[in-house]
Chains A and B, each alone.
Chain A
Amino acid sequence: MQVTYYPGCSLEGTARDYAASLTAVCKALGVELIELEDWNCCGATAAHALNHHAAIALAGRNLALAEKEGRDLVVPCPLCFNRLKTAAQALTGDKRQSYDYAFQGDIKIYDLADFLAQEPLLQLLASRVSQPLPGLKAVCYYGCMASRPPGITEAPDHENPTSMDRILSKLGVEVKPWSYKTDCCGASHLIARRDIVFKLVGRLYDKAVEAGANCMVVSCQMCQANLDLYQDKILRELERSYYLPIFYFTELIGLALGLSQARQWGHMHFVPPARLLAGVGLISC
């Protein structure tokens, strides 16, 4: 199966672990990712905060390019996904004439986790698991942008998304229910208002531990950064002593498929997962 792949800027930098793991996993599952030729930044938060028209046009240019290629579009970053879906609605709505980019809506735009959680791929994944991951107790943390607002994302259950839950269940991970799946981590406030992110993330740690998790699993590179980069500092400020590795769901898929590169991805994290993986007998130290 071939799809067009829109990586987004972070996957060329701070989220290279996400890029590496999803590329390997898609290859192993027979999904051929063809990177969108000459794609540009979706505009992210900055564009929609400062310039609505530019925000639609920046994302819209990518849609116009992708539609020419004719394949469905798969987007790993939930913010990119959200901005592309927002543009798709604007470019097929009654104000479409005010934009230079045309989009008919003939291709589908998928959030990566939703794409991989489709039933045929899920069955294939289940049949390929060579190293199940018992001992990992995970909360799935989806964040905001793949779900909200549902009028844009078309998420089937925006208050309780289940794509990662369903995927991890196939890997033998014990998925813990919790009520904070789609609570905000503070996103790009990390740069200018770190205090906001620290407060929101501190509560997420508390709730994950309360749910019985020994790790958190994400599909968003902004969530991963906020939960991973400053975990030490946030926990020190809160006077907590948790140890919560923050995995991309694709990293766990890679481990369960027994991919040889999968153990390397964890080395890119600030909270090293090796101690957890060794503790539950999934790797030897």
Chain B
Amino acid sequence: MLSNPKLIPEVQFMAQVEQDSGIAVSACYQCKKCTNGCPVTFAMDLYPDQVIRLVQIGQQKAVLNCSTIWVCSACETCTTRCPNEVDVAGIMDYLKEQAIKSGIDIPQPRTYAFHRVFLEDIGRRGRVFEGGLLPRYMFQSGEIWRKLKDRELKDDLELAYHLFRKGRLALTPQGIRARAAIKKILANSTG
């Protein structure tokens, strides 16, 4: 992506990002403090400072397709330490929303599936039911088939059994009365 010799800046992109998100990406002067403090760079395909720079020079496709925005753990170290008050973690969230809206294949499908299933679960009862969330995630992400093959499912079932035995697995979901209000909040969900 970075070695593409024909970089054609989409000059409106940064302005659009700043307007939508309220985050001043243009204030970044590439000191790389975000990247130096980031705990998960080892799993990223672009460093956080590179994501910001690519937004500045209008490389929309590169930033919407990168894994980095999904690998970000939202620990907020970058946002906290940025000397120019660029909300780097906020940009990661904004780009995730845009990536979904643009309909591209999400490069971290399991992470996306987990977030989606989690939000759906909130929509169902207003609260998350861990005991239902994880099986649903396994089917939606297709992880169930891999785990069956790798025998990881056995580990998961053992974990669930021990959680149950130790009293840490709720068997019945808790719902709220105002489910209609929650459904309304999530009605415009991009997930």
Interface residues of A (CB under 8 A from B): 9-10, 12-17, 38-41, 43-54, 57-58, 61, 100, 144-145, 148-150, 158, 183-184, 186-189, 191-193, 195-196, 199-200, 229, 233, 267-270
**Is the pair B39, A189 in contact by a Cβ cutoff of 8 Å?**
no
Inter-chain CB contacts under 8 Å: number: 162
A199→B42 CA distance, assembly (Å): 10
Within 8 Å of chain A (Cβ to Cβ): is B153? no
Closest 9 CB pairs of A and B: A46-B118, A148-B76, A184-B75, A192-B110, A50-B191, A46-B115, A9-B128, A40-B126, A144-B75
**Is the pair A191, B77 in contact by a Cβ cutoff of 8 Å?**
no
A157 to chain B, nearest CB (A): 12
Residue of A17, A50, A189 contacting most chain B CB atoms (<10 Å): A50
**Is the pair A39, B176 in contact by a Cβ cutoff of 8 Å?**
yes
Note all chain A residues with C-beta closer than 8 A to B76.
Answer: 144-145, 148-149
Note all chain B residues with C-beta closer than 8 A to A229.
Answer: 159
Note all chain A residues with C-beta closer than 8 A to B42.
Answer: 199
**Is the pair B97, A16 in contact by a Cβ cutoff of 8 Å?**
no
Residue of B nearest to A60 (CB): B185
A193 to chain B, nearest CB (A): 6
Residue of B nearest to A43 (CB): B122
Query: Number of contacting residues on B, CB 8 A?
Result: 60
**Is the pair A58, B166 in contact by a Cβ cutoff of 8 Å?**
no
Note all chain A residues with C-beta closer than 8 A to B43.
Answer: 193, 195-196
Within 8 Å of chain A (Cβ to Cβ): is B12? no
B184 to chain A, nearest CB (A): 8
Residue of B nearest to A268 (CB): B166
Note all chain B residues with C-beta closer than 8 A to A41.
Answer: 122, 126-128
Contact of B111 among A54, A144, A189 (CB under 8 A): A189
**Is the pair A50, B96 in contact by a Cβ cutoff of 8 Å?**
yes
Contact of B73 among A9, A12, A53, A187 (CB under 8 A): A187
Note all chain B residues with C-beta closer than 8 A to A158.
Answer: 80
